[in-house]
Amino acid sequence: MMSDVVRIEVDGREVEARPGETILEVLRREAVHVPTLCHLEGLPPSGACRMCIVELEGAPTLVPSCSYPVVAGMKIRSRSPKVLAARRMIVELLLSSHPDDCLYCGRSGRCDLQALARDLGVRQRRSQPRGTRRERDVSSPSIVRDPDKCVLCGKCVRVCEEVQGVAAIDFVGRGARTEVGCAFESGLNVSSCVNCGQCILACPTGALTERSYVDEVLEALADPDKVVVVQHAPAVSVTLAEEFGLPPGQDVDGRMVAALRRVGFDRVFDTSFTADLTIMEEGSELAHRIRTGGVLPMLTSCSPGWIKFVEQFYPDFIPNVSTCKSPQQMMGAIVKRFWALREQVRPQDVVSVSIMPCTAKKFECGREEMGCDHVPDVDYVLTTRELGELLRMHGLDLWRLEPEAADTPFGERTSAGKLFGASGGVMEAAVRTAHWMLTGRELEELEIGPLRGLAGCKELHARIDGLEIGAAVVSGLGNARRLLDQVRGGRKDLHFIEVMTCPGGCVAGGGQPIGTDPATVAARMKALYTIDRDAPVRVSHRNASVKRLYDEFLGEPLGEISHRLLHTHYHRRDVLK
């Protein structure tokens, strides 16, 4: 056992380390704070920012702790005067080329560079900023890129390429002219970007932010001729509290509904309702494909970043993608085509707003397929972060509001619909209802352990009344790429595949509060599982309001009306290849 442990000294204290560990790993385990700007947990170190430097006894220079392995007998000083002076110098050099617009920056107060300047006592500029200012890229409906705020840490580039497998951005130029950008100096809108926003979560400054539609929503709320409705996604209620400094994993559903009413929305609906509706349509579509020899495996269509990924990189799999719209778009469609008719309001006088954990939803609502008669299903999408901004703007304190229920009929949801917020949740909800559709009986054990948790790839193989069903769940587009390559290579044991663009699912979406480390994502997931465990109705096919919607308007799953309003088509975008 002793051969598995080496002893080193950290700031005068003896600690144990394992061979092969980096200094940074040991220091963090020993609760020694070491700042970083470029480090990404789970990926090989790049050593680009040098903020994590430490002093080694006997070494001629400071070394980056993220990439330097431990050696027995090593003596480390993590905060010596030499180390602190070097870190201060790095921050001063970064600030020398950084714009002085912290008051207006979307990351002000949550900026890693700002925090480092504060922690290291950098209070004045000792060198003049450069005069050149580069143009912001505002071409994307989802993401704004400001190259002047980029510190060249490379985290966005690595997440886009190594985690998501998209590679829409990279380092361009040489020497002092190096910057992060798209190929051929183009905008994000014509790049391979899938709008997932994982680059925003990785960015330590305000170089990447979501495109805000708060002003447009405020304008709609002030218009007396408009009826403004809002829907909120399953994952938002378990993450919004973090925007107000509270620990992750707290469900503020009822308080959030009360706050949205006080902001001025005429109706507040729950997207989990149309998540249940999605299960009815998608489950019926899967059963139809299995019975009629349709294209299998069927791929879920709830995640718009994933859909664009398929259109660009795997267009041959478009026939495999479910034709169901996402729950967001289904809600928009029934609000404007059913609810508006019942309320005697013209669809064009309804402003439909979504609160989503996802920046790609901003892109999705603008797709040509997502509307009818030139009226979009959804008009504006706000992220969880933007909702926090909106509530602060109105001076609303969530914890001083009494919880309220969402409006009927689209406020009633089951916990199966709520599970859509976590990777594996769509599949779990689908399996519960598919079992009932195929056997006429409820699944005895509703919690399906193999589909839960943070693993990037999960599989389930089950026999239902003699039918062998194979299902897979992947989150993160890099994992999706590997599974699709297996299917391309001849794998035949899967009937249904759930894909979430973001690692961990919507609880870790690109529009969620900054700071989506694994422990935070796990706490958010746990909150959803707790909601499911304690819910009175846990299967989508028992949602009384969904049944009523079919009886009064849609007819039946895959029927003529539901197919026209709730289903869509996708097209190949691989022209860049």
364 is a catalytic site residue: yes
State the catalytic residue, choosing from 25, 210, 285, 498: 285
State the catalytic residue, choosing from 49, 105, 182, 506: 506
**Cβ 53 vs Cβ 85: under 8 Å:** no
- CA-nearest of 364, 186, 177 to 169 is 186
Residues 6+ apart with CB under 8 A from 402: 254, 255, 258
Rounded to whole angstroms, how far apart are CA atoms 40 and 54?
18
Q: Under DSSP, is residue 287 helix (H, G, I), strand (E, B) or coil?
A: helix
State the catalytic residue, choosing from 284, 303, 322, 415: 322
Rounded to whole angstroms, how far apart are CA atoms 202 and 205?
9
State the catalytic residue, choosing from 364, 412, 428, 498: 364
135 is a catalytic site residue: no
Rounded to whole angstroms, how far apart are CA atoms 478 and 166?
8
Rounded to whole angstroms, how far apart are CA atoms 16 and 8?
6
- Side-chain half-sphere exposure of 411, counting CA atoms within 13 A: 13
Q: Which residue has the tokens 């992060």?
A: 180
Rounded to whole angstroms, how far apart are CA atoms 552 and 185?
53
User: Residue 34 has which token pair?
Assistant: 């070491």
Rounded to whole angstroms, how far apart are CA atoms 240 and 235?
9
Q: Under DSSP, is residue 340 helix (H, G, I), strand (E, B) or coil?
A: helix
State the catalytic residue, choosing from 57, 219, 343, 369: 369
Residues 6+ apart with CB under 8 A from 16: 5, 6, 7, 8
State the catalytic residue, choosing from 308, 361, 362, 458: 361
- Give the chain's length: 577
302 is a catalytic site residue: yes
282 is a catalytic site residue: yes
Angle between helices 112-119 and 81-96 (to 10 degrees): 140
322 is a catalytic site residue: yes
577 is a catalytic site residue: no
311 is a catalytic site residue: no
State the catalytic residue, choosing from 25, 281, 282, 412: 282
Find residue 535's DSSP bridge partners. none
State the catalytic residue, choosing from 52, 111, 199, 302: 302
Rg from Cα positions in the chain: 25
358 is a catalytic site residue: no
Task: Tell me which residues are annotated as active site.
Answer: 282, 285, 302, 322, 361, 364, 369, 506
